[in-house]
Amino acid sequence: MSEGRLFDRRGFLGGGCALCGLLAAGCQTTTAAGPARLNPGERPAAASDEASLWSAMERAERDIRTSAHIVRTPEVMEYLTGIMTQLAGPFARDVRLYVVRVPEFNATMAPNGMMQIWTGLLLRCSNEAQLAAVIGHELAHYTQRHAIERLRAFRSGTDIAAFLGLGLAVAVGGLGMLATQLATVGGLMAYTRDQEREADAVGIELAAAAGYDPGQGGALWERLLGEVARDERGDRGRGGFFASHPAIEERMEVIRRDTAGRTGETHAERFRSRLGGLQLALVEEELRQRRYARSEWLFDHLHKDGANPGLMLHALGEVNRLRDAAGDGERAAGFYTAAVAATGAPPEAWRGLGLVERRRGRADAASAAFTRYLALKPTAADAAMIRSYLS
């Protein structure tokens, strides 16, 4: 076990923190290079640089609270907040979780305890343990005060001003930022490699302590790398995880090593059932991006992971129907047919089947599928048009 080595850059010392206490056994005592980690309930000293960083974040958070891009479904938020609360332990009252509608893989933690998880990340988790790994990682950025450490690493006042300005921008970045600004910010705001390693290590221990399989985080990164490699645009997506989390391959190696042979719960079933109806919205957000090869690879892997067979088969049907290249219509029909035979397919799978059958000139099959769709979803957004196809 290499916890000691991972943490020896800076010990997790200090009084009675359960969060770090569980790690302390493996930690060697070394000279603290950065600011001491936060205590539960601790706020920065008045008039400090950290206090001004916090107040900038608090202003941003006020805007985020009223943003149109926040997921507010009470059951979903109660469930996700519960996961965070359990992982955060004594820090639970210092952190707040916001789920932001951006169809990319990312999560952020502001120095004042405002955590953001993008919907694209939720889509990509096949179970609760994978989400717990991410939340644990982000919690560590907070408790270890990585943002202020980073701020103090800047030499000039201009740099610090830029950092504060960009910090605010990053805090709301997923919500309102111009893409061009986001690109600039990614570099400046990125945590250091050591900070990321530390967050990974703390995240693993938090997840394990809560009973999760700690290796699930590594599985999540691994699939993300596979997916991004298939992005036909040849880039890594708008302000996505890679902008703020460098050297992922290297970190993945360490994660894999540190979690080898360890086991725990994944809570895949609970994850699917508690996210409920949000999951179709997550799939639709991804489909809207029209990055067919990448989405197809992702849905295929989520399907192989056992996540929502009906929904993932429907998603694969949708990718093929929308791309409509040679052979896609036939493939789409196959996926839709499999989807409606599996559990968890949305009514939209019948619509998809009807549309591809109609396109293939199979009028009877199309009518049967459309009839089924309208019976299941009579108030659908396109019901009037679909009805006109039937007459």
Partner 1 sequence: MTRLFAVALLVLLTACNQWTLVNPGPTNIRSSLQLSPTIAFNQRAGALPAQPTETWTLDGPLLNRVWILPGIPEGRPLVVAPSTFADPNARPFPAIKPTMNETEMMELIADTISIDNGQVALTTENLRPTTFSGQPGFRFDFQFAGRNELRYRGSFVGAMIDGKLFGVMLTATSLHHYQSLLPEFERLAASARRLTAAS
User: Cα-flanking dihedrals φ and ψ of residue 108, to 5°?
Assistant: -135, 155
Q: Does position 229 bind partner 1 by CB under 8 A?
A: no
3-state secondary structure of 7: helix
Regarding 235 and contact with partner 1 (CB under 8 A), the answer is yes
Nearest to 146 by CA among 50, 71, 62: 50
Beta strand ranges found along the chain (DSSP E): 96-100, 107-109, 114-118
Could you tell me which stretch among 212-220, 230-238, 243-251, 304-312 binds partner 1 (CB under 8 A)? 230-238
Structure tokens at 244: 């703020």
Does 257 contact partner 1 by CB under 8 A?
no
CA distance 289 to 345: 21
**What does the alpha-carbon distance between residue 308 and residue 141 come to, in Å, rounded to a whole number?**
32
Q: Which position has the token pair 């000293």?
A: 45
- Is position 200 an interface residue for partner 1 (rule: CB under 8 A)? no
Decide if residue 384 touches partner 1 (CB under 8 A): yes
* Interface pick for Zn ion out of 199, 228, 280, 340 (rule CB under 5 A): 199
Min CB(136)–Zn ion separation in Å: 11
Please say whether the beta carbons of 260 and 298 come within 8 A. no
Q: Which does 288 bind (CB under 5 to 8 A by kind): partner 1, Zn ion, none?
A: partner 1
* DSSP-derived 3-state class of residue 111: coil
Residue 172 touches partner 1, criterion: CB under 8 A: yes
Contact of 106 with 241, CB cutoff 8 Å = yes
Nearest 5°: the CA angle 187, 189, 195 is 105
Q: Least distance from C-beta 275 to partner 1, angstroms?
A: 16
| Position 372 contacts partner 1 (CB under 8 A) | no
Q: Does 103 bind partner 1 (CB under 8 A)?
A: yes
Nearest to 27 by CA among 43, 10, 4: 4
Give me the 324-343 binding string for partner 1, x by CB under 8 A, dash otherwise. x-------------------
Q: To the nearest whole angstrom, how small is the minimum distance from the Cβ of residue 265 to partner 1?
A: 32
State the nearest-atom distance from the C-beta of 108 to Zn ion, in Å: 8
Closest CB 114 distance from Zn ion, rounded Å: 15
Residues 6 or more apart from 150 whose CB is under 8 A from it? 163, 189, 191, 192, 195
Of 19-27, 60-68, 201-209, 222-230, which part binds partner 1 (CB under 8 A)? 60-68
Q: Helix or strand or coil: residue 194?
A: helix
Distance CA 157, CA 96 (A): 30
Task: Check residue 319 for interaction with Zn ion (CB under 5 A).
Answer: no
Give the nearer residue to partner 1 in terms of CB position, either 84 or 278.
278
- Cβ burial of 66 (10 Å; 0-12, 13-18, 19+) is exposed
Examine residue 93 and tell whether it contacts partner 1 (CB under 8 A): no
User: Segment 67-86, which members bind partner 1 (CB under 8 A)?
Assistant: 67-69
Question: Rounded to the nearest 10 degrees, how much is the dihedral formed by the CA atoms of 229, 245, 188, 53?
Answer: 150
Task: Order across the sheet with 114-118: list the strands.
Answer: 96-100, 114-118, 107-109
Under the criterion CB under 8 A, does residue 190 sit at the interface with partner 1? no
Nearest to partner 1 of 237, 264 (CB atom): 237
Residue 208 engages Zn ion in binding (rule: CB under 5 A): no
355 binds, among partner 1, Zn ion, none (CB under 5 to 8 A by kind): partner 1
Tokens coding 210 = 């809560």
Q: Catalog residues that contact partner 1 under the rule CB under 8 A.
A: 60, 63, 67-69, 101-104, 168-169, 172, 175-181, 183, 233, 235, 237-239, 281, 285, 288-290, 321-322, 324, 351, 355, 358-359, 381-382, 384-386, 388-389
Applying CB under 5 A, which residues contact Zn ion?
199
